[in-house]
Amino acid sequence: MSIEIKGVNKKFGDFVALDDVNVSLPTGQLTALLGPSGGGKSTLLRIIAGLDSADTGTISIEGTNATELPPQKRNVGFVFQHYAVFKHMTVAKNVAFGLEIRKRPKAEVAEKVDELLRLVHLSQFAHRLPSQLSGGQRQRMALARALAVEPTVLLLDEPFGALDAKVRKELRDWLRRLHDEVHVTTVFVTHDQEEAMEVADEIVVINEGRVEQVGTPDQLYDEPANDFVMGFLGEITTLNGVMLRPHDVHISLTPQLPGAAEGTISRLLRVGFEVRATVLTDDGDEVTVVLTRTHARQLGLETGVRVWVTAASGALTMPSLSVAR
């Protein structure tokens, strides 16, 4: 295991940012820390980097106890949401910074910087100032800067959070490919479940300072440990006292399955290829159903139509103890 986090607690005044966090992050993998804003995931990342210190608990990186080490000695690469570029240095100088600190020979530094700028597709911008780059380019530069020192682990704090949707999507794919090339243990923080599911090998779900679940994207989606995880990873709706995904609701014009609830379609919304129907059951539940347009057309769904809804066979369901949202 590359990063071992044991019994970490952190408070800011009265606010509990991390509450007894225990997590192992595997070597060579791309792990996402996923959770809502203010849930403590960034704090955990900063504690791993040594930029914040835990009140209690230990951090070890590749078998070394790093708890008391200052950030300078942890050999981690850190990428910030807002890039944290050195404004007065050229792109090449930014990337070279860590190597110059380590007093590497000039030729070696130049070579390494060249290589990294090629890797992040910024070779032609080497002598520009960061202010002349776009947001996505700045973040790629920041990534190259972090990778230059050949860190044991690479930590990214909401790395694409400040970018627009299209660039975010591109960089996300690019990060996945980059990781497949470089294989450095990588941890990134995100509040976007789609981003985490697409990019990460493993996801750690953190909420209100606690780890809710650790697992692969499929595990989390198919076997959520609790209603929070289920709700956070995808849309849910409540039917007959159970939570389930809207696309797992079976809808029919006649009572076909036992236990189906009867109701009326109160709203029908077409979003691209799918149709979202809101069914008001006679028990007073408001159930969201997602189905394909073709399916909806076959059934002839319209507002006001009487329908029967129930969980489809094989649907993932969970008793709704609390109202997740």
Partner 1 sequence: MASRGSTAVANQSSVVKWVLRFLVIGYLLMLVAWPTAYVVKHTFADGLTGIQDALADPDVVHALKLTAQIAVIAVIINTVFGVGMSLLLVRKTFIGKRALSVLIDLPLSVSPVVVGLALVLVYNGRFGWFGPWLEDHGIQVIFAKPGMIMATCFVILPLVIREVVPVLEELGDDQEQAARSLGANARQTFMRITLPGIKWAVVYGVVLSLARALGEFGAVKVVAGNVGGETQVATVLVQQKYQNFQQETAYSVAFMLVFMAVLCLVVVALLRPKEQES
Partner 2 sequence: MASAVAVGGRPARKRRSASSGSLTRGSAFGLGVSMIWFSLLVLIPLSAIIVKAAGGGLSTFTDVLTNDNTRAALGLTVVSSLIITAINMVMGTIIAWVLVRDRFPGKGLLDLIIDIPFAMPTIVAGLVLLSLYGPESPIGVEVNSTRWAVLLAIAFVTLPFVVRTVQPVLEELDTDVEDAAASLGATRFTTFRRVVLPSLVPAIFAGAALSFARGISEYGALVLISGNLPRKTEVVSVRLFSFLEGGNTEAAAAVATIMLLVALLAIVALDVIQRRVARRG
Name the binder of 39 from partner 1, partner 2, none, CB < 5-8 A by kind.
none
Q: What are phi and psi of 154, to 5 degrees?
A: -110, 125
Note whether 56 binds partner 1 by CB under 8 A.
no
Interhelix angle 91-101/135-148, nearest 10 degrees: 20
Q: Which of 18, 30, 33, 49 binds partner 2 (CB under 8 A)?
A: 49
Nearer to partner 1, 82 or 295 (CB): 82
Q: Which residue has the tokens 């809207």?
A: 246
| Residues ≥6 apart with Cβ < 8 Å to 198 | 172, 176
Please name which of 57, 56, 62 lies closest in space to residue 25, comparing C-alpha atoms. Answer: 62
Binding at 149: pick from partner 2, partner 1, none (beta carbon under 5-8 Å per type): partner 2
DSSP 83-144: ----TTS-HHHHHHHHHHHTT--HHHHHHHHHHHHHHTT-GGGTTS-GGGS-HHHHHHHHHH
Using rule CB under 8 A, residue 41 touches partner 2 = no
CB of 81 vs partner 1, minimal distance in Å: 8
Interface map 77-116 toward partner 2 (x if CB under 8 A) = xx-xxxxxxxxx--------xx--xx--------------
- Could you tell me how many residues of this chain bind partner 1 (CB under 8 A)? 10
User: Do 266 and 310 contact (CB within 8 A), yes or no?
Assistant: no
Q: Does 209 bind partner 1 (CB under 8 A)?
A: no
Query: By C-alpha distance, which of 64, 76, 61 is closest to 25?
Result: 61
Q: Tell which one of 5, 23, 34, 51 touches partner 1 (CB under 8 A).
A: 51
Among 223, 216, 227, 244, CA closest to 34? 216
Q: Which does 42 bind (CB under 5 to 8 A by kind): partner 1, partner 2, none?
A: partner 1
The minimum distance between CB 99 and partner 2, in angstroms, equals: 9
Q: What is the rounded CA–CA span in Å between residue 95 and residue 184?
A: 17
Question: Which residues of this chain interact with partner 1, rule CB under 8 A?
Answer: 12, 42, 46, 50-53, 70-71, 82
Which positions touch partner 2 (CB under 8 A)? 49-51, 70-78, 80-88, 97-98, 101-102, 129-131, 135, 138, 142, 145-146, 148-149, 161-162
